[in-house]
Amino acid sequence: MREFYTDEEAEFGAKMPFSLSKVDKIARLTGRKIDQCKNILEKMADKGLVLDISHGQDVYYMISPIVIGIFEFTMMRAGNLPFEKYAHLFYEYLEATPEFIKSYNIGDVRLGRVMPYEESFKESVFSEVLDYEKLSHIIETQDTFSLGTCACRHTAHHRHDKKCDTPLDTCMAMGNGAKYLLNTAWPGRSPRRRSKAAWKKSAGITWCISLIMLKKMPFFYATAAAAAAPCCRASTAMVMPVLW
């Protein structure tokens, strides 16, 4: 906590609602003036500690969860940050601490779902599936794509535990997730806009796990290496289907 939050930010964040809220509601709950809240929220958003999402003329804020949130928004960055120190801290929290992983196995709602990489199917075992289950269909219906540093591989790299030759810049997002990453003014942020064709080409070298954050519409797609993703490794070690 002390590596990411100042004392003021920690006290402020502890009083924030864990749901998207306008600044006036946050001001009431934290007992601060609106201008003070905006100043703190902007600083926290710059560090990935707060989500700030625009909708029409309004901006909604929410404290970032550790996953998907602080971990990704820290390790997807570029720049002169103590990434090796962060990598070891995230490993201790996400992978070496069973309590965190077990907390993600509560309830019937999962964080995402696995999408098969269709071109890896053998014709002898292929079965036609509905468009809802096709990653190719979901990609074709989107208009915004981004490519950035893979937080999982970046963490493994700084822990000297990266076991694959896949480049670091292979974390892909599309739709509203890509728009958020591209529009967020992170200092030294790495996500870059990509065309649909370039994005699909990148997908071919990053196949391992495809997570799609879904409600009614696709929000975020990412590829993660099972050998590098902390939550995947921890859940596998405990024989626990945590995220999907």
Could you tell me if residue 126 is inside a domain? yes
Could you tell me if residue 53 is inside a domain? yes
Same structural domain for residues 59 and 73?
Answer: no
Is residue 229 within 8 A of residue 152, CB to CB? The reply is yes
Q: Say what the pLDDT of residue 176 is.
A: 78
Q: Say what the pLDDT of residue 212 is.
A: 52
What percent of the chain stands above pLDDT 90? 25
Its domain, for residue 131, covers: 69-237
Same structural domain for residues 40 and 133?
Answer: no
Could you tell me if residue 189 is inside a domain? yes
Could you tell me if residue 204 is inside a domain? yes
- Between CA 184 and CA 222 the distance in angstroms is 18
Q: Who wins on pLDDT, 80 or 219?
A: 80
pLDDT bin (cut points 50, 70, 90) of residue 242 is very low
Is residue 169 within 8 A of residue 190, CB to CB? The reply is yes
Q: Say what the pLDDT of residue 97 is.
A: 75
Q: Who wins on pLDDT, 143 or 41?
A: 41
Same structural domain for residues 58 and 83?
Answer: no
Residue 36 φ/ψ, nearest 5 degrees: -65, -40
- Between CA 46 and CA 48 the distance in angstroms is 6
Report if pTM > 0.75. Answer: yes
Same structural domain for residues 77 and 195?
Answer: yes
Same structural domain for residues 84 and 14?
Answer: no
Q: How many domains does the chain divide into?
A: 2
Nearest of 35, 8, 47 to residue 189 by alpha carbon: 47
Same structural domain for residues 148 and 189?
Answer: yes
Of 18, 46, 63, the one marking the end of a domain is 63
